[in-house]
């Protein structure tokens, strides 16, 4: 993990559907004077200023909707938002799926009491908070043998490039001279292999660097 760089005030918004959990997390953050807590109501009312990046601390265990859906909605507020996910222990591949969905870090509940402040500051400074080796081990698995079901085929790679140009299914079908239904079939497989739930996730800043490392079958 990268070293801590800044002591500037950090705006933090805690998201939990359990009021006791919210109160506990906010109290932990108040122990450090460099953090300033803001409510979700204030964020929705006033928005997020470009010169004041906001870090969300999201307790996934209390959410009634999937984390990926929550991140998609929050990313619409500002491109400067960053996200730390709290939950029960998850394995490395599950953590990377969170990162591919737009999160910038993961902290298990067992470490919240002692590492929450440090994790928030790392993420606010532009770093990822993950266990050592998470990215490396996952990318190693992605590059294993041609039989790996997550590999992108040449046709899928072609469609993926067109998706990244923000073309519609109809436009892709016309360009490749194939049926729209065939495009939809390939898009479904591509999203599944990349562990994302919608084509909009292809355009997140953190996803693009990993996307370029996917191998061809």
pLDDT digits over 71-94, tens only? 888 887 776 789 999 999 988 878
Tell which of 90, 110, 131 closes a domain.
131
118/38 same-domain check: yes
82/107 same-domain check: yes
How far is Cα 46 from Cα 61, in angstroms, rounded to an integer?
Answer: 27
Please give the model's pTM, rounded to 2 decimal places. 0.61
Give the strand pairing for 35-37 and 10-15.
parallel
If one counts the domains in the chain, the total is 2
How far is Cα 114 from Cα 109, in angstroms, rounded to an integer?
Answer: 10
Tell which of 98, 131, 164 closes a domain.
131
How far is Cα 126 from Cα 129, in angstroms, rounded to an integer?
Answer: 10
In a domain, 38, yes or no: yes
Split the chain (217 residues) into runs of 10 and give each run's mean pLDDT.
Answer: 55 93 94 88 69 86 89 79 93 82 89 94 86 64 45 81 83 90 91 76 58 47
Domain of residue 175, residue span: 143-211
42/74 same-domain check: yes
In a domain, 217, yes or no: no
**In a 3-state reduction of DSSP, which class is residue 49?**
coil
How far is Cα 11 from Cα 54, in angstroms, rounded to an integer?
Answer: 5
Res 59: pLDDT: 96
153/175 same-domain check: yes
8 A C-beta contact, residue 108 and residue 89: yes
Tell which of 85, 100, 131 closes a domain.
131
Res 209: pLDDT: 53
Res 194: pLDDT: 75
What b/e string do you get for 165-204 counting C-beta neighbours within 10 Å, with b at 16 or more? eebebeebbeeeeeeeeebeebbebbbebbbbeebebbeb
How far is Cα 64 from Cα 51, in angstroms, rounded to an integer?
Answer: 31
Joined together, the tokens standing for residue 32 give 């450090």
199/151 same-domain check: yes
Joined together, the tokens standing for residue 96 give 């990377």
**For residue 203, what is the DSSP state?**
G
Q: Where are the alpha helices (DSSP H) in the chain?
A: 19-30, 40-46, 67-75, 92-100, 109-124, 134-142, 154-164, 169-176, 180-193, 205-211
């Amino acid at each position: 993990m990268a070293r801590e760089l800044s002591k500037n005030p950090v705006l933090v918004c805690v998201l939990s559907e359990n009021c006791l959990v919210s109160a506990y997390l906010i109290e932990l953050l108040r122990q450090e004077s460099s953090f300033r807590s803001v409510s979700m109501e204030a964020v929705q009312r006033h928005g997020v200023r470009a010169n004041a990046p906001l870090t969300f601390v999201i307790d996934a265990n209390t959410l009634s909707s999937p984390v990926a859906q929550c991140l998609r909605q929050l990313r619409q507020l500002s491109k400067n938002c960053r996200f730390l996910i709290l939950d029960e222990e998850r394995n490395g591949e599950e953590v990377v799926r969170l990162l591919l969905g737009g999160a910038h870090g993961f902290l298990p509940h067992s470490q919240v009491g002692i590492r929450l402040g440090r994790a928030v500051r790392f993420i606010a400074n532009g770093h990822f908070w993950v266990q050592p080796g998470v990215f490396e081990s996952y990318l190693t698995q992605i590059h294993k043998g041609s039989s790996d079901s997550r590999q992108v085929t040449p046709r899928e790679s072609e469609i993926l490039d067109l998706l990244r140009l923000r073309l519609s299914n109809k436009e892709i079908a016309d360009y490749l001279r194939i049926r729209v239904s065939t495009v939809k079939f390939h898009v479904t497989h591509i999203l599944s292999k990349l562990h994302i739930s919608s084509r909009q996730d292809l355009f997140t800043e953190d996803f693009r660097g990993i996307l370029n490392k996917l191998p061809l079958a």
